[in-house]
Structures are given as structure tokens and as C-alpha cells.
Amino acid sequence: MPPNDELALLRRVAAKDRKAFEVLYHLFYRRLFGYLLKLTRRADLVEEVLNDVMLAVWKGAPGFDGRSRVSTWIFGIAYHKGLKALARRQGEPQEEGERPEPVDDEEPERLAARRELAGVLGRALGALSPEQRAVVELTYYYGMAYQEIAEIVGCPVNTVKTRMFHARRRLRELLPGLGISSYVG
């Protein structure tokens, strides 16, 4: 959806249009769910945090000042809510829920190799701090520029660059030990 359409939708939400909010919710649900799962690495938190994010969007829509894209504003709320939820739940055991197997027509060996690589990368990303992981996720999974990431996480662009530098360095250290011999970064 073009940014202007998102803005029009958010303006309707600001006017307490429940239908517009439902459309906005469905528009962002999958992206926010995936982002929050990668940020928190806690499946048991994602729905709760996502609902907190959307409640904040509902309540905060009238105060949206338009200095950023709507998606940047919403991801910024998600980032902060996700970190707060992690801090509240620190030390609690994680649920070991089963993840649904993706349906794929690829040959079994290739699919198994992709799953193994995804698992290794997931473990490596899990070793990063939430702040570093957020920068990596927003850059590589969501294709966002450093300026937009800085707006989302609420820090200067140079801090985003520093977090990325340290994340890449840490991944360069971790990946060989996890079975990935060459990392380009």
C-alpha cells in the first residue's frame, strides 16, 4: 500500500473509524508478527505485544505528526513495546512451542538444507542483543535504510551504524562455530 494510502487510513483511525482500524490491523499484522517474533524470540509474547502495539496505534493516531511514514511510526511503537515486554519477562522460562512446518515443493534435501541454515542463522541472531538484532532484522529482512531504522528505534543514525558494525562483527565470530564457513558482511 502506498504511504499516502496508509496516511489516509491512519487519519480515519484518528477519527475513531473502526473499519479503518480493522483494515490497518490486517495490513500490518503479518509484518509486525514476524518482526516481533524475530525481535523478542519469544513466541509466547508476540500476540500480547502486537495487541499492545495496535492499542497504542488506536490511541495515538490523533497525535501522529507525519514527520515519518506511518509504517515507520508503527514499527517504532512495536520496537519499544517489544523491548519493554522482554525486560518485564526477563528470567521467565520460554515456552517451547512447535513451529508449523512450511509447505514447500522443493526437493527434500534442498528443503532440509534451507531449514538447517535458517536454524543456524536464528541461533546466531539470538546471540545478539535485542538492539543489534533489531537493526539487522530491519535492514536485511525488511529492507529499511539506516535513517528509517534510526526513527524506529529512536536513536541517531550513527548509533544504528555502530550497532550494525558490532552485530556483523559478532556474527562473523559466531557463524564459523555454527557450521557456516564463509560469511560476507
Range of the domain at 129: 108-177
Grid cell 508478527 is found at: 33
- Other CB atoms within a 10 A radius of the CB of residue 151 amount to 20
C-alpha cell at 27: 495490513
* 140 belongs to a structural domain: yes
Q: How far apart are CA 125 and CA 35, in angstroms?
A: 13
Q: Do residues 84 and 114 share a domain?
A: no
pLDDT, the chain, mean: 84
For residue 142, the domain's CATH number is 1.10.10.10
Instruction: Express each pLDDT in 44-61 by its tens digit.
Output: 889 999 999 999 999 999
SS3 state at 171: helix
pTM beyond 0.75: no
Asked whether residue 84 falls in the same domain as residue 158, the answer is no
On whether residue 134 sits in a domain, the answer given is yes
| CATH (domain of 70) | 1.10.1740.10
DSSP H/E element including 85: helix 70-89
Is residue 79 within 8 A of residue 134, CB to CB? The reply is yes
The answer to whether residue 101 sits within a structural domain is: no
- Structural domain count of the chain: 2
pLDDT tens track for 74-112: 999 999 999 999 888 776 655 544 344 444 455 666 667
User: What pLDDT is attached to residue 160?
Assistant: 95
